[in-house]
Amino acid sequence: MYDTTSYAEESFAFAPFDYHGKALCIPLKKSVFFETEFILNTIDKNDIIINEDLQTKKNYCKQVKKAISVIKSSNASKIVLSRKKEIDLKQFDISILIKRLLNLYPNAFRYIWYHPQTGFWCGASPEVLLEMERISFATMALAGTQRVKKDAIPYWNFKELNEQKIVVDSIAASLQKVASVIRTSETYNYQAASLVHLRTDITGTLKEGKNTLSMIASILHPTPAVCGTPQDYAKSYILDNEDYSREFYTGFLGPIYQKDSCSKLFVNLRCMKIDANIATLFVGGGITIDSEPESEWEETQHKLQTMLQVIYPML
């Protein structure tokens, strides 16, 4: 088993949500590495209806109401709540999974990971945690979620726009500790699979001596998009109140190159864990003072579709 705290060796890293400076990794030097040609094919998507237990919905909405009351007491401005959904598979077929994962989401970071300590995970993440090249960095703020509607421009309400501002401001404030220059783009619509989000790009230059990947990752993770703000309070609230372990959902992962000089880490969103013939899908949403429990539940339902499309032939 290999792990890393320095991120100095070329490898692929895989870190949990409850991250304390150490990530599992597969070192390039210890790996069998090969490349193959991939031809993109179109795969049709259809809404997949799954049965949801009424009590599960009630429990999630109750959690949302509790988080709203905490936010109203001014302890936090945003708390991200998540849940998992276990799906029985008729028969797991990795060749089908690979084909559908790669073809369905060509604009996302798609991965398949297996490790004896973690089991089998895969996903299609739309969110960059950190991209570094020497002293330059890039990250993003991603919040707000709607289903894509053909020929319709998304309308973002006050709750969604305010949530995006919270995320942008929090990330920028965190980066001030290590960055000499920080730039933020205009916020724009960003489509990921059948969903559209608000996105703001954040780029800049790091201060001398502050450009280690491990340092920046520790500052950014967990981002307000997957945790909340203030970071420490929101994370403690999640660990104390979510009724399950996120494991590697909303952790981060990605390739590490050349001693920090060129690396790219992604937030582990739109992902699932597969054990035998059970797929565990993970979804969540950002709760603010303007959240409505029913709407937050519906948002998680929409997000389930991303991985449901991948396993559709196995259902």
pLDDT tens column, 262-307? 789 999 999 999 999 999 999 999 999 999 999 999 999 999 999 9
Per-residue pLDDT tens over the stretch 66-116:
999 999 998 899 999 999 999 999 999 999 999 999 999 999 999 999 999
* 202 pLDDT above the threshold of 60: yes
14 vs 253: CA distance, rounded Å: 4
* 234 pLDDT above the threshold of 60: yes
285 vs 144: CA distance, rounded Å: 8
Q: What is the pTM of this model?
A: 0.95
* pLDDT for position 211: 75
48 vs 307: CA distance, rounded Å: 10
Q: In the predicted model, what is the mean pLDDT of the chain?
A: 93
Compute CA distances 95 → 57, 102, 112, 310, 313, whole Å. 33, 11, 12, 11, 11
What tokens does 156 get? 């973002």
* 259 pLDDT above the threshold of 80: no
Domains and CATH numbers, the chain: 3-34+60-314 (3.60.120.10)
Beta strands in 175-298 (DSSP E): 179-184, 188-192, 195-206, 228-229, 252-256, 262-267, 271-275, 278-287
Per-residue pLDDT tens over the stretch 131-154:
998 889 999 999 999 999 888 899
Q: Identify the CA nearest to 220 among candidates 284, 285, 160, 132.
A: 132
For residue 208, what are the contacts with CB-CB under 8 A and spacing of at least 6? Answer: 135
168 vs 307: CA distance, rounded Å: 27
Q: Do residues 129 and 219 make contact, with C-beta atoms less than 8 angstroms apart?
A: no
Phi/psi at 113 (nearest 5 deg)? Answer: -135, 135
135 vs 180: CA distance, rounded Å: 10
284 vs 303: CA distance, rounded Å: 8
